[in-house]
Structure 1
Amino acid sequence: MIRESYLAVAGVAAELLAHPAVADCWDKPSALAGYTVSGLAGHLAGQVNVVAKALDGPVPDTEPITALEHLSQARWLDAEQDGEVHRGIRAGGVQYAQVGARTLAEQTADVLERLRRELPEQPARRVVQFPWGPPALLLDDLLLNRMMELVVHLDDLAVSVEVPTPEVPAAATDAVIGLLAAVAARRHGPVSVIRALTRAERAPGSIAAF
């Protein structure tokens, strides 16, 4: 289910990258602080490219951790927006975007076609890691992690270029909301999350996952 959901969301992202509004706003600031539209588009495209790179990478020899553990340990989670970690993430988006709006969209569509062929064939317990190294994850957990990035940044990019945020399958949003809620519960405590979802009069000011 995660593989199908990831591919569906990646397809929506590829379509948004090819939208004329993205090219028209390419050099403008985006709705996400620190990113231009082009840099944000590159970052979105990276969530497709990184999966292909993970498939091409070495098979890790360590036990995989879960998607929740990986996200909870992410260096960027509490890093300063102007710090080294976020500067590096933004630079990665800029690098992808250097080819221009049209070529970025075409390249992303090409990688997606490869993933549509290869992901269904991968073993259920395939272990992978991101190109930058450990920890190891099950392929489906890595896909959940990247699907979260896609869903979040689809909204960022759509808002940035003033088009409606594309709809994605309910199975995808259910999985992403579940992951984000679990991270939020670790950060703020489960009671705060439960109150925010059920008791507005006792809800905290924020239960943001990040």
Structure 2
Amino acid sequence: MPLSLTADVLATARTVTGLALSPEVREHWTDESACAGMTVGGLAHHTVRQVELLVRLFPDARTDQTPISLLEHYRRAAWANTDLDDEVNTSIRDTDNARASSGPAELSGHATEQLVGLAAALASVEDDDAVLLDWQSWSLSVEDFAVTRLMEMLVHGDDLAASVGLETPEFPEEAARRVLSLLTEVAVDRHGQTGLLRALSRPQRAPESVSAF
């Protein structure tokens, strides 16, 4: 994985962890978040879990399987292709809400521990083309998997900030570029070139939604 992306992943992880551990999040812990059905505490857990996945999976990123593309990953991912009230999505919300039931202090210790381990996990895959083992029954390159976690951190970082009345933090420029490129590619795949072109340039002719998810 490129060193520049490694630095951006680390910086982004620090930013969203700081947000998840902020006084505002603690104050609104049991309130419903901007993500319907998920508490602020549950959303904080879900956001920090993206760091945990990098720490847990990267050191073991070795397989002979052929990775699929990022676009194909989102074509296959069940959560991205079902209704928000379908079991695959409600189970995610229920799991994170349950984790949040122990309160913000527990998340603080866990999140700090994951940040400490992240640098070593990222170093283990620098300049490596290994792919991840059994990620949702297929494989992604470590670089592409990092982009999927960046997307989760940026999108849910915005959700979390909006949930507690904070400004969305500024993320590293390259991280934002990668995420916006990913979202654009998925949106074009779902809505077509013309729909996205109009949404960005001709709102009077744009479809009602060109959301990637």
Q: Same fold (TM over 0.5)?
A: yes
Q: Which runs of 5+ in 1 are unaligned?
A: none
**Superposed CA offset, 1:131-165 (max 9, x none):** x6421111111110011011000011111111111
Structure 1 moving runs of 4+ over 6 Å: none
Percent of matched pairs sharing the same residue: 36
Q: Does 116-125 or 159-168 show the bigger shift?
A: 116-125
Number of aligned positions between the proteins: 209
What is the distance in 2 between the residues matched to 1:171 and 1:145? 14
* Match status 1:92 vs 2:95: yes
Does structure 2 conserve the Cα–Cα contact (< 8 Å) formed by 1:3 and 1:140? Answer: no
Deviates more, 1:17-26 or 1:119-128: 119-128
Asked whether 1:137 is paired with 2:132, we answer no
Indicate if the aligned counterparts of 1:67 and 1:137 stay in contact, CA closer than 8 A.
Answer: yes
Q: Mapping of 1:1-210 within 5 angstroms?
A: 1-57=4-60, 59-122=62-125, 123-129=127-133, 133-210=136-213
Structure 2 gaps, min length 5: none
Cα displacement string for residues 62-107 of structure 1 (whole angstroms, at most 9, x for unaligned residues): 2111222212221011212222101221133224424421221231
Partner Cα separation in structure 2 for residue 67 and residue 96 of structure 1: 29
Considering only aligned residues, what root-mean-square deviation do their CA atoms show, in Å?
1.8
For 2:122 and 2:105, locate their aligned partners in 1 and report how far apart those are by CA, in whole Å: 25
**Amino acid of the structure 1 residue aligned with 2:48:** A
The structure that is strand-richer by fraction is 1
The one-letter code matched in structure 1 to 2:62 is: V
Q: Residue 93 of structure 1 aligns to which amino acid in structure 2? A: D
Calculate the TM-score normalised by the size of structure 2: 0.90
Instruction: Give the TM-score taking structure 1 as reference length.
Output: 0.91
